[in-house]
Amino acid sequence: MKRISILTAMLLSFVFAHAQTKQFTLEEGWKFSKGDFENGAQTNFNDSKWEMVTVPHDWAIYGPFDKEVDKQVVAISQNNEEEATEKTGRTGSLPHIGDAWYRTNFELPNYEKGSRVLVVFEGAMSDPQVYVNGQTAGEWGYGYAYFNIDITDLVKAGESNLLAVHLSPKALSSRWYPGAGLFRKVRIIVQPESHFKLWNTFVTTPVVSDDLAKVNIKTKVSGENLKLETSIKDASGKVLVSKSTDEMFGDEFEQNIALENPKLWSPESPVLYYAVSKLYDKNGKLQDEQTTRFGVRTISYTPENGFQLNGKTRKFKGVCLHHDLGPLGAAVNKAALRRQIQIMKDMGANAIRSAHNMPSMEQLELCDEMGMMFLAESFDEWKKPKVENGYNRFFDEYHEKDIVNLVRATRNHPCIVMWSSGNEVPDQWGSDGVKRAKALQDIFHREDPTRPVTVGMDQVKAVMESGFGAIMDIPGLNYRTHLYKEAFERFPQGLLLGSETASTVSSRGVYKLPVEIGHSKTYEDGQSSSYDVEYCNWSNLPEDDAVLQDDEDWVIGEFVWTGFDYLGEPTPYDEYWPSRSSYFGICDLAGLPKDRYYWYKSRWNTEESTIHVLPHWNWRGMEGDTVPVFVYTSYNTAELFLNGKSMGKRSKNKSSKLERYRLMWNDVVYQPGELKVVAYDDNGKTADEKVIKTSGKPYQLVLDADRTTLDANGKDLSFVTVSVVDKDGNPCPTATNQLTFKVSGAGKYRAACNGDATSLEMFHLPTMKLFSGKLVVLVQSTEQTGNITLQVKGKGLKSGNVTIKSE
């Protein structure tokens, strides 16, 4: 299937335009260069030697890694630090700082007098300055913000028009890897004289029953003497009901449409509807048309019932996610986002928090379709800075505009069930911060009165004293589990949200002996233990949160920090080099599950049974030493066997925090061979078992593609897990072989990632070491149909191959 050209009308992420409004995604044909070119906006500027790129694009992800990039000497207050120390890797050690230009030409179709032309950005990192045909069109501040600029007076129909964008990400502007460039979509919209205003249709379902839903649609338009006709369709395109009106209140139509026998949106059944709206003039001539996708659902938050979706109480089993996509950087890719969401759903998660920034349109579209509730966050800073050049630079001028655009552009997504106006802002102290919190919440309420607002609050004592926490719709606590009870009693809302929890650290497949619970532990190899007992001085074990979530009805859920590792913020190794990505993830940077994934799955995924054994059983030279064995399982009882000999049964014990959720054999003496765990149901009968074995030498590479059929659109991805096994097919969990990758046929090599936070190998080069026996290769489709073959080789290993179809 050939990719649609940039001048073909494309779907707007939530309001899809047909009929009169035309939209064009500017994806291909961009020229890019680093540097501050004085005449880079001019039509006669010579850009012939610039790099050709596609947008979305992140220039920094191609590296190289360098410890000097954004090296910061700082005391991180969020980490309870009082003395400034040198931090390397805090923003990923990738070259995201400096000036750069993007330039592209586009042609517009002929359009009638009175039409308007907009250029729409869904994210530009950062400080974008926009020029059209050599003239200044406008600028913005926040790199994560959606914004649009009216360029009607600067463009000409039927001619080539030049769009140039200057970006200048600054040092000391972020606490994590922000990426750099036009990392989200750029579109041109041509609107007729009478049209639906961009981001100004709001669909709600204020009344819902089994038999009937009231669908309220508020639509702002430009023009006079107009008539609006709206039809509601199901996913098959069947028209379910239609209604028309010619009554306008100012520039707004309002319709209430009765939808019979509605199917409700939920994580288990993410049913979507489509409101097709047509705008006619007084003579009955069609002026504009749009389709708004929405879901029928209700939400409520009360002390009596906690959080309810569609009238049923449920808790948030959520994860926080930064915006980067590991080896792809910050550039949005829908296939990569879909994989992330699916991995989290398979674990049993039902919600995502966009931390600490505005989400991409693609992420929200997928959450609607796949059934994942969403907490949409806006800012990591307000007026008071965390970093010198953070959002504090923009707050006074932009905070209202940024919130308005966020809410209006995304409020029709049924997945969004809550807004967040900030995260761990230093404004939590003092009366000025309380006033800012109230003012920001009021803006959210004005733009969307249907959803509550929270803030991730880490200074719990301060917000108790100042009243900050008391004014929030939903008090969100980041960590501080020891203060939950006091906060609940002090705050008037009658409920609490774990807006950020755990921050347990681990490296996939790395196990440190002896096993000791502790915070801020570091080792010479720059790794953290995957026994899941290490955390930061401001965070805690996952069990601390689980006890509150499971035992207290007034705790309405949690968002774990984090679902996936991300670039930057390598705590507890932010003073260690090399280390350039996080250790917090339930999955590593490649998306491979760590052991902790199965700890959460054993609690959250009630549809499947879970039985997971750790550590691996390759401990050459440690024969006779003690190697504890943990089991994460949905069963209450299991028995461990080592080489056929029982090590005893263990049952979960509610009176012990660790033993409540883990089965532990702490005194196992290592012998090579076979570990077998047999799980028993509540009647004492064998229900499941898991076996791991000591492996021999690495012998053969094994490839497992998450998708074996791709769309031939030049963007689709297959994530191929590469592992190594011995001659008997047993995984080799400590293998670190250097591998090379070759892609042939109707695809190309895109990137690789092994999940090692200390690796300085570049993702886009076709070679990488295994880490703990595994890595992931990303294969990308082209616009050609046919077979794609990935071959992976390693010295002394039998090579592996996988074939993927592109159609």
- Per-residue pLDDT tens for 5-64? 333 333 333 344 344 899 999 999 999 999 999 999 999 999 999 999 999 999 999 999
- Residue 441: partners with Cβ closer than 8 Å, 6 or more residues away: 421, 453, 471, 472, 473
The count of other CB atoms within 10 Å of the CB of residue 49 is 7
Is 341 in the same domain as 362? yes
* pLDDT (0 to 100) of residue 74: 81
Cα separation, 698 vs 725, in Å, equals: 6
The percentage of the chain sitting over the pLDDT mark of 90, rounded to a whole number, equals 94
Is 489 in the same domain as 629? no
Pairing of strands 453-457, 416-423: parallel
Is 559 in the same domain as 646? no
Is 475 in the same domain as 621? no
- Residue 34: partners with Cβ closer than 8 Å, 6 or more residues away: 59, 98, 99, 100
Q: Does residue 2 form part of some domain?
A: no
Are the beta carbons of 52 and 31 closer than 8 angstroms? Answer: yes
Mean pLDDT (whole number) for 90-109 = 96
Q: Does residue 323 form part of some domain?
A: yes
Q: Does residue 65 form part of some domain?
A: yes
Is 321 in the same domain as 411? yes
Question: pLDDT tens digits for 744-758?
Answer: 999 999 999 999 999
The count of other CB atoms within 10 Å of the CB of residue 753 is 26
List the CATH number of the domain containing 490.
3.20.20.80
Is 206 in the same domain as 273? yes
State CA 460 to chain mean position distance.
26
* pLDDT (0 to 100) of residue 14: 38
pLDDT over 80 (residue 177): yes
pLDDT over 50 (residue 89): yes
Q: Which tokens hold the place of 243?
A: 């209604």
Phi, psi (5° rounding) for residue 376? -90, 115
3-class DSSP assignment, residue 297:
coil
Q: Does residue 716 form part of some domain?
A: yes
Name the nearest CA neighbour of 592 among 755, 730, 738, 702: 755
From residue 131, alpha-carbon distances to 97, 107, 150, 182, 276 in Å are 21, 16, 11, 14, 34
Rounded to 10 degrees, the C-alpha dihedral 39/40/43/44 comes to 60
Mean pLDDT (whole number) for 325-353 = 98
Q: Which residue has the higher pLDDT, 72 or 27?
A: 27
Q: Which residue has the higher pLDDT, 702 or 75?
A: 702
Q: Report the predicted TM-score, pTM, of the whole model to 2 decimal places.
A: 0.96
Is 181 in the same domain as 121? yes
Cα separation, 320 vs 98, in Å, equals: 29
Mean pLDDT (whole number) for 265-284 = 97
Amino acid at 282: K
* pLDDT (0 to 100) of residue 111: 87
| Mean pLDDT lowest among 311-315, 428-432, 440-444, 664-668 | 428-432
Mean pLDDT (whole number) for 610-622 = 98
List the CATH number of the domain containing 289.
2.60.40.10
Residue 773 Rama label (left phi>0; alpha psi -120 to 50; beta): left
* pLDDT (0 to 100) of residue 142: 97
Known active-site residue 516: no
Residues 486, 492, 496: CA angle, nearest 5 degrees:
60
Task: Give me the domain span that covers residue 773.
Answer: 700-806
* pLDDT (0 to 100) of residue 527: 98
Q: Does residue 758 form part of some domain?
A: yes
Mean pLDDT (whole number) for 479-493 = 97
Known active-site residue 397: no
| Total domain count, the chain | 5
3-class DSSP assignment, residue 368:
helix
Is 350 in the same domain as 279? no
pLDDT over 70 (residue 263): yes
Amino acid at 215: V
Is 264 in the same domain as 388? no
Q: Does residue 35 form part of some domain?
A: yes
Q: Does residue 619 form part of some domain?
A: yes
Phi, psi (5° rounding) for residue 431? -70, -30
Cis bond upstream, residue 572 (ω within 30): yes
Mean pLDDT (whole number) for 315-322 = 98
Tell me the average pLDDT of the chain.
95
Q: Which of 122, 289, 377, 500 is catalytic?
A: 500
Q: Which tokens hold the place of 252?
A: 């707004």
Question: pLDDT tens digits for 190-240?
Answer: 999 999 999 999 999 999 999 999 999 999 999 999 999 999 999 999 999
End-to-end CA separation in angstroms for the chain: 6
Q: Which of 362, 365, 377, 424 is catalytic?
A: 424
Is 89 in the same domain as 67? yes
Among the candidates 133, 162, 191, a domain finishes at: 191
Is 627 in the same domain as 482? no
From residue 463, alpha-carbon distances to 425, 439, 495, 558, 605 in Å are 11, 16, 15, 19, 34
Q: Which residue has the higher pLDDT, 1 or 570?
A: 570
Task: Tell me which H or E stretch contains 208.
Answer: strand 195-208
Mean pLDDT (whole number) for 572-584 = 96
Among the candidates 234, 265, 294, a domain finishes at: 294
List the CATH number of the domain containing 156.
2.60.120.260
- Residue 524: partners with Cβ closer than 8 Å, 6 or more residues away: none
| Mean pLDDT lowest among 76-85, 315-324, 469-478, 780-789 | 76-85
Q: Does residue 526 form part of some domain?
A: no
Among the candidates 138, 157, 191, a domain finishes at: 191
3-class DSSP assignment, residue 435:
helix
Is 373 in the same domain as 474? yes
